[in-house]
Chain A
Amino acid sequence: MKIRRPILWLLVSLIVAASAVVSVPGASYAHQDREATLASASLRHPAGTDALGRDRLVRVAVAFLLSLAGAAAAAALTTAAAAGVGTLAAFGRPSMGWTMMLACDVFLALPWMFLLMMVRSALPLTTTPARSAAITFFVLAALGWPASARAVYRGATQLKSSEWMLYARATGLNGASIVRHVIPNLLPLLVPQFLISVPAFVMAEANLGALGLGVGEPLPSWGGMLFELNNSPMLMQTRWVYFPVVLLVLMLLLLEGIAAQA
């Protein structure tokens, strides 16, 4: 796996820049500057402010870091679950494999958005913003594993019938040892699954947030900032409202560029 350096460096630079913005003393995503609502770019607010006078640059930086960290954690969970389910289905009893693949079929029979909406909407109305963010990404991880599990299952089934595996089993390798040998061999399959899942989860969170079902306010999120675009008077007053969208598209382009090369 070879990832083009400029893409990786650009992403790392964005992470460093966002971390620097967030760590500036006094930078707060929730602080309201009541005298500068919907302000344009200035020295005090380099990317202007939103309708409540909150600094847009800080909010974008927090949304960037939160989204990236949440999506990466969710992708790691999904990949781990897919590795477990796929390997168990391939190396376990046939009935277990059949049941697990049926479970995958049930999840795959539903478009993501409907499942996400159903689960996310059934949360208490009093959920805190931090908890809503954690739940959103957890739900993404909980619903995103079946496609990866199917891919892992196919890879593991091929491994099961490979010559070295037949030899290993013939010489008495037991279940736990087989798994220990199988997982490293599945890594070339698992790493791309992880990298593909990250931009998919970032996009799912943005779509969910734009419908008002994502991360709760005042915690900033891409979806929440897309929601701002529905406010027409705001759009007339400042063009900086498009800044988060530009950065979100850039982030997704970089993540998809990395995933495409994996």
Chain B
Amino acid sequence: MKVALTGLRWTARTVVIVLLVMLGSTLLVRFAPGYLSDAREMDSRYAAAARSELSTEAASSHSIPHMILSEIRGSLRGDFGTSRQFDVPVSELIGPRLAVSGGLLLRGIGLGWLLALSAALISTAGKNPSFFWQAPATLLLAVPTAALATFCLLANSGGPVLVMALLLAARDFKFLNHALRRGWLEPHVLQARAQGLGPVRLLLGHLVPALAPQLGALASLSLVTALSALVPVEVIFNVPGLGELAWNAALNRDLPVLLAVVMLMAVAVTCSGMAVPHGADWESA
């Protein structure tokens, strides 16, 4: 009963957050001073057509409640409305790109965690914090995602997955290194080590279970970091995913597409936060 109630509360919270994200995003974009402007207005060949399209848009978006209702109706129908730029249902644009971005995120997060965990395990094996492992992580954290992606592209080595993985590995390593270093010095772990328990059994039997809530929080945080890196990585590597679609929609002021992508992100982040059992760990990660 208690579990059902907690689940219900979390679901209600997610729905409220997604609705507020939708409402806020619609109002934010609609009232932005440049909403009713188009780059084509500057080209005499397309100016007349662009102005006519914009006046139609202005008339249709005159009533804010009507605009929000039509967005909600589109979401409930499952097609998320019609794209202003491509004139097709938004779901048709999002569907194939969701698989591309999902694959990229999964591989990036997986490889990032593998790198971070391996580096943290090797680094914590020594007595003192290892400069050899700390320095690359610190340097990677100081390189903007766009710069890292551009360098990989220019050097013709590594693709979007590697960039995403390096970015996440650098962030996660700092946390894992700190947590593992503390974990190895816990009294029960020291006792187990003194009794001759092997490092693998120590890790799987004692360290990982103790760190599980923090690892859950870190996984959730990794998803947020990866989603933020999605746009520069996809745009620079020309990957036809959600990040690139959102960037295109932002440049062309395609509100329905932008709203749909933003909503998907809100659902993903809120759901990943639900998977974390302790709120405090999520905040302190």
Q: Which residues of A contact B (CB under 8 A)?
A: 102, 105-106, 108-115, 117-125, 127, 150-151, 154, 199, 203, 206-207, 210-213, 222-223, 226, 229-230, 232, 235, 245, 248-249, 252-253, 256
Measured CB to CB, the closest approach of chain A to B15, in angstroms, equals 12
Cβ of B209 to closest chain A Cβ, rounded Å: 26
User: Nearest chain-B residue to A235 (Cβ)?
Assistant: B154
Contacts of A124 in B (CB 8 A): 33-34, 37
**Contacts of B253 on A, CB cut-off 8 Å?**
121-122
Tell me if B142 and A249 are in contact (CB < 8 A): yes
Given A109-B269, A110-B266, A210-B146, check contact A253 B139 (CB 8 Å). yes
A-B residue pairs in contact (CB < 8 Å), sample of 16? A109-B17, A113-B231, A118-B28, A119-B32, A120-B250, A122-B253, A123-B32, A210-B144, A210-B232, A211-B231, A213-B250, A213-B251, A223-B146, A230-B150, A253-B138, A256-B142
Q: How far is the CA of A113 from the CA of B145 in the complex (A)?
A: 11
Partner of A110, one of B21, B29, B33, B283: B21
Chain B binding surface, main DSSP class: helix
Task: Report yes or no: A210 in contact with B21, Cβ–Cβ below 8 A.
Answer: no
Q: Does B147 contact A (CB under 8 A)?
A: yes
Question: Residue B96 at the A interface, CB < 8 A?
Answer: no
Interface residues as binary, B110-150 with A (CB distance below 8 Å gives 1, 0 otherwise): 00000000000000000000000000001101111111001
Chain B: minimal CB distance from A143 (Å): 10
Residue B212 is within 8 A (CB to CB) of chain A in the complex = no
Give which listed residue, A106, A109, A113, A206, contacts B147 with CB less than 8 A.
A206
On whether A253 and B269 interact (CB within 8 A), knowing A118-B262, A121-B253, A123-B32, the answer reads no
Shortest CB-to-CB span from B75 to chain A, Å, is 16
Closest CB in chain B relative to A239 CB, distance in Å: 12
Knowing A123-B32, A226-B146 touch, does A114 contact B17 (C-beta < 8 A)?
no
Flag if B142 contacts A252 (CB, 8 Å): yes
**A207-B144, A253-B139 are contacts. A111–B224 as well, Cβ < 8 Å?**
yes
